[in-house]
A and B are shown apart, each in its own frame.
Chain A
Amino acid sequence: MRTLLLLMICLALSGSAALAQDARKIMDAVYKQDTSRDATWRGTMDVYDKKGTLRRKKFTFRKLGGLGNSKTLVRFNDPAEVRGVGLLSLNERGVADRQWMYTPAIQRTRRIAAQERRQRFLGTDFTNEDMAERVLDDYTYKLLGEGEMVDGRKTYKIEARPVSPEKSQYAYVYLWVPVDVPYTVMAEMYDKNGQRQRVLKAGELVKISNIWVAKRVEMNTPTEGTKTILLLEDIRFNTGLKEDGFTQQALEKPDA
Protein backbone atom coordinates (compact mmCIF):
# COMPACT_ATOMS: atom_id res chain seq x y z
CA MET A 1 0.00 0.00 0.00
CA ARG A 2 1.52 3.14 -1.22
CA THR A 3 0.25 5.42 1.49
CA LEU A 4 2.77 3.80 3.58
CA LEU A 5 5.51 4.30 1.08
CA LEU A 6 4.86 7.96 1.17
CA LEU A 7 4.99 7.81 4.89
CA MET A 8 8.30 6.20 4.65
CA ILE A 9 9.49 9.18 2.70
CA CYS A 10 8.11 11.43 5.30
CA LEU A 11 9.64 9.44 8.06
CA ALA A 12 12.92 11.05 7.37
CA LEU A 13 15.95 10.77 9.53
CA SER A 14 19.41 12.18 10.07
CA GLY A 15 19.68 14.78 12.72
CA SER A 16 22.25 17.27 11.60
CA ALA A 17 20.36 19.32 9.09
CA ALA A 18 19.09 22.19 11.18
CA LEU A 19 21.14 24.92 9.66
CA ALA A 20 20.11 27.67 7.25
CA GLN A 21 21.22 25.87 4.15
CA ASP A 22 19.57 26.10 0.80
CA ALA A 23 16.29 24.31 0.28
CA ARG A 24 17.67 21.41 -1.71
CA LYS A 25 20.12 20.61 1.00
CA ILE A 26 17.37 20.62 3.60
CA MET A 27 15.29 18.24 1.55
CA ASP A 28 18.26 16.03 0.77
CA ALA A 29 18.62 15.55 4.49
CA VAL A 30 14.96 14.70 4.81
CA TYR A 31 15.23 12.06 2.13
CA LYS A 32 18.36 10.58 3.57
CA GLN A 33 17.49 10.40 7.23
CA ASP A 34 15.86 6.99 7.02
CA THR A 35 18.76 4.64 7.04
CA SER A 36 16.85 1.60 8.06
CA ARG A 37 17.32 -1.76 6.33
CA ASP A 38 13.85 -2.88 7.28
CA ALA A 39 10.84 -1.59 9.19
CA THR A 40 7.80 -3.04 10.90
CA TRP A 41 4.84 -1.36 12.54
CA ARG A 42 1.18 -1.68 13.21
CA GLY A 43 -1.14 0.92 11.82
CA THR A 44 -4.62 2.19 12.29
CA MET A 45 -6.12 4.08 9.40
CA ASP A 46 -9.18 6.24 9.95
CA VAL A 47 -10.92 7.54 6.88
CA TYR A 48 -13.56 10.23 7.40
CA ASP A 49 -15.94 10.98 4.56
CA LYS A 50 -17.53 14.37 4.08
CA LYS A 51 -20.39 13.50 6.39
CA GLY A 52 -17.83 12.70 9.05
CA THR A 53 -18.50 8.98 8.97
CA LEU A 54 -15.49 7.05 10.14
CA ARG A 55 -14.11 3.90 8.59
CA ARG A 56 -11.27 2.37 10.52
CA LYS A 57 -8.87 -0.29 9.36
CA LYS A 58 -6.01 -1.95 11.11
CA PHE A 59 -3.02 -3.51 9.49
CA THR A 60 0.57 -4.49 9.91
CA PHE A 61 3.28 -3.01 7.79
CA ARG A 62 6.58 -4.53 6.79
CA LYS A 63 9.24 -3.04 4.64
CA LEU A 64 12.54 -4.34 3.39
CA GLY A 65 15.19 -2.19 1.73
CA GLY A 66 15.68 1.52 1.40
CA LEU A 67 14.61 4.35 -0.84
CA GLY A 68 14.50 3.37 -4.48
CA ASN A 69 14.82 -0.31 -3.86
CA SER A 70 12.25 -1.46 -1.36
CA LYS A 71 9.61 -4.12 -0.88
CA THR A 72 6.62 -3.65 1.33
CA LEU A 73 3.89 -5.94 2.48
CA VAL A 74 0.77 -4.68 4.17
CA ARG A 75 -1.68 -7.05 5.76
CA PHE A 76 -5.07 -5.95 6.96
CA ASN A 77 -6.54 -7.57 10.03
CA ASP A 78 -9.53 -5.45 10.91
CA PRO A 79 -12.44 -5.14 10.25
CA ALA A 80 -13.53 -8.65 9.37
CA GLU A 81 -14.45 -7.75 5.78
CA VAL A 82 -10.87 -7.00 4.93
CA ARG A 83 -9.10 -9.44 7.20
CA GLY A 84 -6.32 -11.19 5.35
CA VAL A 85 -6.23 -8.78 2.44
CA GLY A 86 -2.62 -8.20 1.53
CA LEU A 87 -0.77 -5.67 -0.57
CA LEU A 88 2.67 -6.28 -1.94
CA SER A 89 4.72 -3.52 -3.59
CA LEU A 90 8.05 -3.82 -5.26
CA ASN A 91 9.97 -0.65 -5.92
CA GLU A 92 13.01 -0.65 -8.06
CA ARG A 93 14.98 2.25 -9.40
CA GLY A 94 14.12 2.96 -12.99
CA VAL A 95 11.27 0.47 -13.12
CA ALA A 96 7.63 1.26 -12.55
CA ASP A 97 6.33 0.08 -9.22
CA ARG A 98 4.65 -3.26 -9.29
CA GLN A 99 1.85 -4.02 -6.90
CA TRP A 100 -0.33 -6.97 -6.13
CA MET A 101 -3.36 -7.43 -4.00
CA TYR A 102 -4.47 -10.64 -2.42
CA THR A 103 -8.09 -11.15 -1.38
CA PRO A 104 -8.69 -14.22 0.75
CA ALA A 105 -12.42 -14.50 -0.04
CA ILE A 106 -11.68 -15.56 -3.59
CA GLN A 107 -8.12 -16.65 -2.85
CA ARG A 108 -6.66 -14.64 -5.60
CA THR A 109 -3.67 -12.47 -6.14
CA ARG A 110 -4.05 -9.85 -8.75
CA ARG A 111 -1.96 -7.19 -10.23
CA ILE A 112 -2.80 -3.59 -9.46
CA ALA A 113 -2.40 -1.51 -12.58
CA ALA A 114 -0.63 1.81 -12.61
CA GLN A 115 -3.49 4.10 -11.79
CA GLU A 116 -4.34 7.61 -12.66
CA ARG A 117 -2.41 10.08 -10.57
CA ARG A 118 -5.27 12.04 -9.18
CA GLN A 119 -7.30 8.98 -8.25
CA ARG A 120 -7.80 8.36 -4.57
CA PHE A 121 -5.99 5.32 -3.37
CA LEU A 122 -8.50 2.81 -2.05
CA GLY A 123 -10.81 5.56 -0.90
CA THR A 124 -8.33 7.35 1.31
CA ASP A 125 -7.35 10.98 1.03
CA PHE A 126 -4.07 9.91 -0.52
CA THR A 127 -3.99 10.00 -4.27
CA ASN A 128 -2.02 7.50 -6.24
CA GLU A 129 0.53 10.21 -6.85
CA ASP A 130 0.82 10.83 -3.15
CA MET A 131 1.54 7.17 -2.68
CA ALA A 132 4.29 6.81 -5.22
CA GLU A 133 7.86 6.63 -3.99
CA ARG A 134 9.65 9.85 -4.80
CA VAL A 135 13.25 10.91 -4.95
CA LEU A 136 14.89 14.23 -4.32
CA ASP A 137 15.40 14.98 -7.98
CA ASP A 138 11.71 14.81 -8.81
CA TYR A 139 11.33 18.40 -7.62
CA THR A 140 13.14 21.70 -7.67
CA TYR A 141 13.17 23.51 -4.33
CA LYS A 142 13.07 27.09 -3.16
CA LEU A 143 13.37 28.30 0.36
CA LEU A 144 10.46 30.64 1.04
CA GLY A 145 11.14 31.54 4.67
CA GLU A 146 12.25 30.44 8.03
CA GLY A 147 10.74 30.72 11.44
CA GLU A 148 7.12 29.73 10.93
CA MET A 149 6.00 27.63 13.90
CA VAL A 150 4.38 24.23 13.23
CA ASP A 151 3.40 22.06 16.18
CA GLY A 152 5.63 24.12 18.39
CA ARG A 153 8.58 23.73 16.12
CA LYS A 154 10.34 26.41 14.18
CA THR A 155 10.38 25.42 10.50
CA TYR A 156 11.70 26.19 7.10
CA LYS A 157 9.02 26.78 4.50
CA ILE A 158 10.05 25.31 1.17
CA GLU A 159 8.36 25.43 -2.18
CA ALA A 160 8.77 22.29 -4.30
CA ARG A 161 7.85 22.24 -7.96
CA PRO A 162 7.72 19.02 -9.98
CA VAL A 163 10.43 18.69 -12.60
CA SER A 164 7.94 17.22 -15.03
CA PRO A 165 4.78 19.21 -14.35
CA GLU A 166 2.77 17.28 -16.93
CA LYS A 167 3.21 14.16 -14.84
CA SER A 168 1.86 15.69 -11.68
CA GLN A 169 -1.56 16.74 -10.56
CA TYR A 170 0.10 19.42 -8.44
CA ALA A 171 1.61 22.65 -9.68
CA TYR A 172 3.59 23.21 -6.52
CA VAL A 173 3.84 21.96 -2.95
CA TYR A 174 4.72 23.87 0.20
CA LEU A 175 6.74 21.87 2.67
CA TRP A 176 7.47 22.67 6.29
CA VAL A 177 10.58 21.08 7.76
CA PRO A 178 11.58 21.83 11.34
CA VAL A 179 14.92 23.53 11.59
CA ASP A 180 16.01 20.93 14.09
CA VAL A 181 14.43 17.74 12.65
CA PRO A 182 14.93 16.60 9.03
CA TYR A 183 11.33 15.58 8.60
CA THR A 184 8.43 17.07 6.69
CA VAL A 185 5.89 17.88 9.34
CA MET A 186 3.45 19.65 7.06
CA ALA A 187 2.81 19.85 3.34
CA GLU A 188 0.26 21.70 1.26
CA MET A 189 -0.37 20.61 -2.32
CA TYR A 190 -1.73 23.10 -4.86
CA ASP A 191 -3.17 22.48 -8.27
CA LYS A 192 -2.67 24.46 -11.46
CA ASN A 193 -5.27 27.00 -10.44
CA GLY A 194 -3.55 27.70 -7.16
CA GLN A 195 -6.28 25.83 -5.33
CA ARG A 196 -5.09 24.04 -2.22
CA GLN A 197 -5.89 20.39 -2.84
CA ARG A 198 -4.43 18.61 0.13
CA VAL A 199 -2.85 19.26 3.47
CA LEU A 200 -0.58 16.72 5.12
CA LYS A 201 0.39 16.90 8.77
CA ALA A 202 2.86 14.60 10.46
CA GLY A 203 2.82 14.79 14.23
CA GLU A 204 4.02 13.03 17.32
CA LEU A 205 7.55 12.79 16.03
CA VAL A 206 9.62 10.24 17.83
CA LYS A 207 13.12 8.98 17.31
CA ILE A 208 13.40 5.22 17.21
CA SER A 209 16.65 3.46 16.51
CA ASN A 210 17.97 6.87 15.63
CA ILE A 211 15.37 7.35 12.94
CA TRP A 212 12.70 10.03 13.08
CA VAL A 213 9.16 8.79 12.67
CA ALA A 214 5.81 10.55 12.91
CA LYS A 215 3.33 8.41 14.82
CA ARG A 216 0.40 10.39 13.56
CA VAL A 217 -0.08 11.38 9.95
CA GLU A 218 -3.12 13.27 8.79
CA MET A 219 -4.08 13.99 5.20
CA ASN A 220 -6.85 16.48 4.54
CA THR A 221 -8.71 17.21 1.36
CA PRO A 222 -10.14 20.65 2.14
CA THR A 223 -12.07 20.92 -1.10
CA GLU A 224 -14.11 17.85 -0.28
CA GLY A 225 -14.07 17.94 3.48
CA THR A 226 -12.57 14.49 3.91
CA LYS A 227 -9.57 13.35 5.85
CA THR A 228 -7.48 10.30 6.59
CA ILE A 229 -5.60 9.80 9.83
CA LEU A 230 -2.90 7.21 10.20
CA LEU A 231 -1.65 6.12 13.60
CA LEU A 232 1.54 4.09 13.93
CA GLU A 233 2.34 1.80 16.81
CA ASP A 234 4.91 -0.71 17.68
CA ILE A 235 7.46 0.74 15.30
CA ARG A 236 10.59 -1.34 14.94
CA PHE A 237 13.54 -0.99 12.63
CA ASN A 238 16.09 -3.48 11.41
CA THR A 239 14.59 -6.58 12.91
CA GLY A 240 16.12 -8.72 10.18
CA LEU A 241 13.17 -9.28 7.80
CA LYS A 242 13.82 -11.78 5.03
CA GLU A 243 13.37 -11.46 1.25
CA ASP A 244 11.04 -14.46 1.17
CA GLY A 245 8.55 -12.55 3.27
CA PHE A 246 7.97 -10.27 0.28
CA THR A 247 6.92 -12.65 -2.47
CA GLN A 248 3.58 -13.54 -4.00
CA GLN A 249 3.61 -16.78 -2.06
CA ALA A 250 4.04 -14.81 1.14
CA LEU A 251 1.28 -12.49 0.05
CA GLU A 252 -1.07 -15.43 -0.29
CA LYS A 253 -0.52 -16.58 3.29
CA PRO A 254 -2.81 -14.37 5.31
CA ASP A 255 -1.55 -15.65 8.62
CA ALA A 256 2.04 -14.79 7.90
Chain B
Amino acid sequence: MIELQNVSRSFGDAKLVQALNQVNLRLAQGERVAVMGPSGSGKSTLLNLICGLDEPSTGAIKIDNVDIASLDDDSRTRLRRQKIGMIFQTFNLLPTLTALENVSLPLRLNGVAKKDAEQRATAMLQKVGLAGRAAHRPDQMSGGERQRIAIARALIFAPPVLLADEPTGNLDSKTGEEILALLDELHREFNTTILMVTHNEEAALHCDRVIRLRDGQIISSSAVTARTAEGQ
Protein backbone atom coordinates (compact mmCIF):
# COMPACT_ATOMS: atom_id res chain seq x y z
CA MET B 1 0.00 0.00 0.00
CA ILE B 2 2.65 2.54 1.10
CA GLU B 3 6.26 1.94 0.40
CA LEU B 4 9.29 4.11 1.20
CA GLN B 5 12.58 3.21 -0.42
CA ASN B 6 15.78 4.78 0.87
CA VAL B 7 14.00 8.02 1.56
CA SER B 8 16.14 10.90 2.79
CA ARG B 9 15.09 14.44 3.47
CA SER B 10 17.55 17.14 4.37
CA PHE B 11 17.06 20.83 5.02
CA GLY B 12 19.31 23.81 4.47
CA ASP B 13 22.34 24.17 2.26
CA ALA B 14 25.35 25.03 4.35
CA LYS B 15 24.39 23.41 7.62
CA LEU B 16 22.65 20.33 6.39
CA VAL B 17 20.02 18.92 8.70
CA GLN B 18 19.26 15.31 7.91
CA ALA B 19 15.63 15.16 8.99
CA LEU B 20 15.27 11.70 7.47
CA ASN B 21 18.10 9.42 6.53
CA GLN B 22 17.73 6.35 4.29
CA VAL B 23 14.35 5.36 5.56
CA ASN B 24 12.76 2.17 4.27
CA LEU B 25 9.23 1.48 5.27
CA ARG B 26 6.33 -0.64 4.08
CA LEU B 27 2.75 -0.40 5.19
CA ALA B 28 0.28 -3.02 4.24
CA GLN B 29 -3.38 -2.31 3.61
CA GLY B 30 -5.26 -1.90 6.87
CA GLU B 31 -2.09 -1.91 8.93
CA ARG B 32 -1.82 0.44 11.87
CA VAL B 33 1.62 1.77 12.61
CA ALA B 34 2.73 4.05 15.41
CA VAL B 35 5.76 6.26 14.84
CA MET B 36 7.65 7.17 17.97
CA GLY B 37 10.84 9.00 18.69
CA PRO B 38 12.26 12.02 20.41
CA SER B 39 11.48 15.53 19.31
CA GLY B 40 13.26 16.47 16.12
CA SER B 41 13.78 12.85 15.08
CA GLY B 42 11.88 13.37 11.83
CA LYS B 43 8.41 12.07 12.53
CA SER B 44 6.48 15.01 11.11
CA THR B 45 8.80 15.11 8.14
CA LEU B 46 7.98 11.50 7.42
CA LEU B 47 4.25 12.19 7.45
CA ASN B 48 4.59 15.28 5.28
CA LEU B 49 6.51 13.25 2.73
CA ILE B 50 3.97 10.49 2.60
CA CYS B 51 1.05 12.82 2.05
CA GLY B 52 2.95 14.65 -0.63
CA LEU B 53 3.14 18.01 1.08
CA ASP B 54 6.90 17.66 1.01
CA GLU B 55 9.29 15.95 -1.38
CA PRO B 56 12.14 13.63 -0.47
CA SER B 57 15.69 14.72 -1.26
CA THR B 58 16.45 11.19 -2.42
CA GLY B 59 14.56 7.96 -2.51
CA ALA B 60 11.09 7.00 -3.67
CA ILE B 61 7.71 7.01 -2.05
CA LYS B 62 5.09 4.76 -3.59
CA ILE B 63 1.43 4.79 -2.81
CA ASP B 64 -0.44 1.94 -4.41
CA ASN B 65 2.68 1.37 -6.48
CA VAL B 66 2.71 4.90 -7.86
CA ASP B 67 5.84 6.91 -7.18
CA ILE B 68 4.48 10.21 -5.96
CA ALA B 69 7.67 11.96 -6.99
CA SER B 70 6.63 11.29 -10.58
CA LEU B 71 3.34 13.16 -10.09
CA ASP B 72 2.85 16.86 -10.55
CA ASP B 73 1.55 19.02 -7.78
CA ASP B 74 -2.07 18.80 -8.87
CA SER B 75 -2.12 15.01 -9.10
CA ARG B 76 -0.39 14.77 -5.77
CA THR B 77 -2.96 17.12 -4.28
CA ARG B 78 -5.80 15.01 -5.68
CA LEU B 79 -4.15 11.88 -4.36
CA ARG B 80 -3.95 13.50 -0.96
CA ARG B 81 -7.50 14.65 -1.13
CA GLN B 82 -8.92 11.26 -2.00
CA LYS B 83 -6.57 8.65 -0.63
CA ILE B 84 -4.93 10.25 2.35
CA GLY B 85 -6.58 11.75 5.34
CA MET B 86 -4.37 13.92 7.46
CA ILE B 87 -4.82 14.84 11.10
CA PHE B 88 -2.59 17.60 12.36
CA GLN B 89 -1.09 18.11 15.74
CA THR B 90 -2.86 21.50 16.00
CA PHE B 91 -6.13 20.63 14.25
CA ASN B 92 -5.73 23.29 11.53
CA LEU B 93 -9.38 24.00 11.13
CA LEU B 94 -10.43 27.07 9.23
CA PRO B 95 -11.48 29.52 11.92
CA THR B 96 -14.15 31.22 9.90
CA LEU B 97 -15.96 28.07 8.91
CA THR B 98 -18.43 26.12 11.00
CA ALA B 99 -17.78 22.52 11.97
CA LEU B 100 -20.00 21.35 9.17
CA GLU B 101 -18.32 23.57 6.65
CA ASN B 102 -14.88 22.53 7.77
CA VAL B 103 -15.75 18.88 7.39
CA SER B 104 -17.42 19.26 4.04
CA LEU B 105 -14.63 21.41 2.65
CA PRO B 106 -12.62 18.57 1.00
CA LEU B 107 -15.77 17.34 -0.71
CA ARG B 108 -16.55 20.82 -1.94
CA LEU B 109 -13.02 21.17 -3.24
CA ASN B 110 -13.64 17.96 -5.14
CA GLY B 111 -16.66 19.55 -6.76
CA VAL B 112 -19.36 17.85 -4.76
CA ALA B 113 -22.47 19.95 -4.56
CA LYS B 114 -22.92 21.74 -1.33
CA LYS B 115 -26.06 19.89 -0.36
CA ASP B 116 -24.57 16.45 -0.90
CA ALA B 117 -21.35 17.48 0.73
CA GLU B 118 -23.14 18.71 3.81
CA GLN B 119 -25.23 15.61 4.00
CA ARG B 120 -22.16 13.45 3.98
CA ALA B 121 -20.41 15.77 6.41
CA THR B 122 -23.35 15.56 8.77
CA ALA B 123 -23.12 11.80 8.68
CA MET B 124 -19.41 12.03 9.41
CA LEU B 125 -20.01 14.43 12.28
CA GLN B 126 -22.46 11.96 13.68
CA LYS B 127 -19.80 9.33 13.50
CA VAL B 128 -17.39 11.43 15.54
CA GLY B 129 -20.19 12.25 17.91
CA LEU B 130 -20.53 15.92 17.13
CA ALA B 131 -23.77 16.03 15.18
CA GLY B 132 -25.11 18.62 17.56
CA ARG B 133 -22.27 21.05 17.00
CA ALA B 134 -22.43 21.25 13.23
CA ALA B 135 -23.15 24.96 13.23
CA HIS B 136 -20.46 25.92 15.70
CA ARG B 137 -17.22 27.52 14.77
CA PRO B 138 -13.87 26.18 16.00
CA ASP B 139 -13.42 28.87 18.60
CA GLN B 140 -16.69 27.78 20.20
CA MET B 141 -15.45 24.23 20.75
CA SER B 142 -13.04 22.47 23.06
CA GLY B 143 -9.71 21.01 21.95
CA GLY B 144 -11.06 17.46 21.83
CA GLU B 145 -14.07 18.50 19.86
CA ARG B 146 -11.86 20.33 17.42
CA GLN B 147 -9.65 17.33 16.98
CA ARG B 148 -12.70 15.22 16.29
CA ILE B 149 -13.81 17.73 13.69
CA ALA B 150 -10.33 17.49 12.17
CA ILE B 151 -10.64 13.70 12.09
CA ALA B 152 -14.06 13.93 10.54
CA ARG B 153 -12.60 16.18 7.88
CA ALA B 154 -9.72 13.78 7.28
CA LEU B 155 -12.11 10.87 6.88
CA ILE B 156 -14.82 12.48 4.80
CA PHE B 157 -13.52 10.74 1.67
CA ALA B 158 -13.15 7.47 3.56
CA PRO B 159 -9.50 7.49 2.51
CA PRO B 160 -7.60 4.22 2.52
CA VAL B 161 -4.78 5.91 4.41
CA LEU B 162 -4.94 8.06 7.51
CA LEU B 163 -1.92 10.00 8.67
CA ALA B 164 -2.12 11.41 12.15
CA ASP B 165 0.51 13.64 13.69
CA GLU B 166 0.15 13.42 17.43
CA PRO B 167 -3.64 13.40 17.33
CA THR B 168 -3.80 13.26 21.10
CA GLY B 169 -0.81 15.45 21.83
CA ASN B 170 -2.84 18.48 22.74
CA LEU B 171 -5.51 16.65 24.66
CA ASP B 172 -5.96 15.34 28.16
CA SER B 173 -5.68 11.59 28.56
CA LYS B 174 -9.42 10.98 28.78
CA THR B 175 -10.19 12.90 25.62
CA GLY B 176 -7.16 11.32 23.98
CA GLU B 177 -8.56 7.96 24.82
CA GLU B 178 -11.86 8.88 23.18
CA ILE B 179 -10.05 9.91 20.04
CA LEU B 180 -8.08 6.70 19.91
CA ALA B 181 -11.25 4.74 20.37
CA LEU B 182 -12.71 6.61 17.48
CA LEU B 183 -9.74 5.70 15.33
CA ASP B 184 -10.13 2.04 16.31
CA GLU B 185 -13.74 2.18 15.29
CA LEU B 186 -12.89 3.68 11.93
CA HIS B 187 -10.28 1.05 11.34
CA ARG B 188 -12.77 -1.64 12.03
CA GLU B 189 -15.30 -0.15 9.71
CA PHE B 190 -13.15 0.89 6.74
CA ASN B 191 -9.97 -1.10 7.24
CA THR B 192 -8.05 2.16 7.01
CA THR B 193 -4.30 2.07 6.94
CA ILE B 194 -3.18 4.31 9.79
CA LEU B 195 0.19 5.89 10.37
CA MET B 196 0.16 7.72 13.66
CA VAL B 197 2.86 9.76 15.27
CA THR B 198 2.69 9.68 19.03
CA HIS B 199 4.70 10.14 22.16
CA ASN B 200 2.22 8.19 24.09
CA GLU B 201 2.92 4.46 24.67
CA GLU B 202 -0.77 4.02 25.51
CA ALA B 203 -1.66 5.30 22.10
CA ALA B 204 0.85 2.99 20.49
CA LEU B 205 -1.06 0.08 21.94
CA HIS B 206 -3.87 0.87 19.53
CA CYS B 207 -1.52 -0.01 16.65
CA ASP B 208 -0.25 -3.20 15.13
CA ARG B 209 3.33 -2.10 14.89
CA VAL B 210 5.65 0.53 16.34
CA ILE B 211 8.58 2.01 14.52
CA ARG B 212 11.05 4.16 16.39
CA LEU B 213 12.95 7.00 14.83
CA ARG B 214 16.14 8.63 16.02
CA ASP B 215 18.08 11.25 14.09
CA GLY B 216 16.08 10.53 10.99
CA GLN B 217 16.67 6.81 10.99
CA ILE B 218 14.42 3.94 11.89
CA ILE B 219 16.10 2.27 14.78
CA SER B 220 13.51 -0.37 15.46
CA SER B 221 10.31 -1.79 14.17
CA SER B 222 8.32 -4.18 16.28
CA ALA B 223 4.91 -5.69 16.40
CA VAL B 224 2.73 -4.50 19.20
CA THR B 225 1.55 -6.83 21.87
CA ALA B 226 0.27 -5.71 25.16
CA ARG B 227 3.49 -7.03 26.62
CA THR B 228 5.85 -5.29 24.29
CA ALA B 229 4.25 -2.05 25.17
CA GLU B 230 4.40 -2.69 28.84
CA GLY B 231 7.93 -3.97 28.63
CA GLN B 232 9.25 -0.75 27.22
Consider the complex of A and B and state whether they touch directly, i.e. have CB atoms less than 8 Å apart. no
Residues of chain B whose beta carbon lies under 8 Å from any beta carbon of chain A: none
